[in-house]
Copies of this chain bind each other. A is one copy, B any other.
Amino acid sequence: MYDGALGDLIEELGQLPGIGPKSAQRLAFHLLASESADVERLTSALERVKAQVRFCEVCGNVTEAEQCGICRDPRRSEALICVVEEPKDVLAIERTGEFRGRYHVLGGAINPLEGIGPDDLRIRQLMVRLQAGETTELIIATDPNTEGEATATYLAMLLKPMGLKVTRLASGLPVGGDLEYADEVTLGRAFSGRRDMD
């Protein structure tokens, strides 16, 4: 509906995930009214991300160097590798402060409906990495959904014969959640995974 640059901007913003036509319009008017310096900081960050950010050659996490900070950190142990789908999962786990091993980012999950098979994920690179023989346990932390479960099952099938310990993150009720609102699959998992109280 808008012509020219403003129309182009609304259209481009509307292509972004989670940004509908109304949000795109609101964002475009916000940016139009913003200080030029603020908008330049945004475009500059965007250009730097495209120019400088790449994927760690070891684990596949995002980095601006050849290897990410976690792979370069000698205090982090290669004995324990946590396998995740996406770089943002690395950050989520780092925030817990519970894990001192290293990561392997698959770059997605097996999804036959979208044509994503094991060869499309960084599984071959994981195999190469395991050949160094330093790793004893793999924690499969793919998402607790159909694709994540399929990927976890596939990886377990591949890795267990190599004599490695393969574990999966616990499924159950979210802490602070309400039992009444848990879906039946989660509640079923919480029952089957119940633990003795100390």
Give A contacts to B, CB under 8 Å: 1-6, 8-9, 11-13, 15-19, 23, 25-32, 36, 38-39, 41-53, 62, 64, 69, 86-88, 91, 94-95
Instruction: Give this chain's copy count.
Output: 2
CB of A14 to closest CB in B, whole Å: 11
DSSP class of A's interface residues: helix, strand, loop or mixed? helix
- B27-A53 in contact (CB<8A): no
Distance between A61 CB and nearest chain B CB, rounded to angstroms? 10
Closest CB-CB distance, A162 to chain B, in whole Å? Answer: 31
Which residue of chain B has the shortest Cβ distance to A23 in the bound complex?
B18
Chain B contacts for A17, CB-based, 8 A: 26-27, 30
Shortest CB-to-CB span from A25 to chain B, Å, is 6
Q: Which residues of B sit under 8 angstroms from A88, Cβ to Cβ? A: 25-26, 29
The answer to whether B1 touches A45 (Cβ under 8 A) is no
Q: Give the residues in chain B near A32, CB-CB below 8 Å.
A: 49-50, 53, 62
Give CA–CA (A31, B91) in the complex, Å: 18
Contact B91 A53 (CB under 8 A): no
| Residue pair B52, A47 in contact (C-beta under 8 Å) | no
Contact (Cβ within 8 A) B43 A4: no
**Which residues in B have their C-beta under 8 angstroms from that of A44?**
8
